[in-house]
Amino acid sequence: MTHANEILVEGVEIEQERPKPQVQKCAPAKSVVVKSTDMSEDMQKEAIAVAHRAIEQFQLEKDIASHIKVEFDRKFFPSWHCVVGRNFGSYVTHETNHFIYFYVQHIAIMLFKTGF
């Protein structure tokens, strides 16, 4: 059995998986599951907070992704890339310590930085 780290972001409990998926035990309205990351804990918290705001503000996945990307470019300097959806595969190259793949409810979010 694997153990998960718990991170608290603005009253939202986040379960971070290591290495196998765990069942999220948060209320469905605010559930967050981090599937994979190499980001610092502070940057993870920021990604999740920005994603929550984007999901509250926008309906379309492309608008959610755009908002997250623009906020991270502004706060952590370009070039960030964001994919938002319910069903996608990916294989990306990213800068070390600048990748996170997580779910907010049933919406998958992959955010990463690359300067290549």
Q: Which domain holds residue 74?
A: 35-113
The pLDDT value given to residue 28:
43
pLDDT of residue 22: 39
User: What is the per-residue pLDDT across 77-115, written as a single tens digit (0 to 9) for each?
Assistant: 999 999 999 999 999 999 999 999 999 999 999 999 998
d(CA 76, CA 70): 10
Secondary structure (3-state) at 38 = coil
Residue 18 in domain: no
Overall domain count for the chain: 1
User: 66 lies in a domain?
Assistant: yes
Residue 65 included in any domain: yes
CATH number for the domain including 89?
3.30.740.10
The pLDDT tens digits for 43-79 are 999 999 999 999 999 999 999 999 999 999 999 999 9
pLDDT higher than 60, residue 34: yes
Q: Does 99 map to a domain?
A: yes
Q: Is residue 26 part of a domain?
A: no
Q: Is residue 22 part of a domain?
A: no
Which amino acid does the sequence have at 40?
Answer: S
C-beta separation of 40 from 7 below 8 A: no
pLDDT confidence bin for 25, thresholds 50/70/90: very low
Residue 1 lies in a domain: no
pLDDT value of residue 108: 99
Residue 2 domain-assigned (yes or no): no
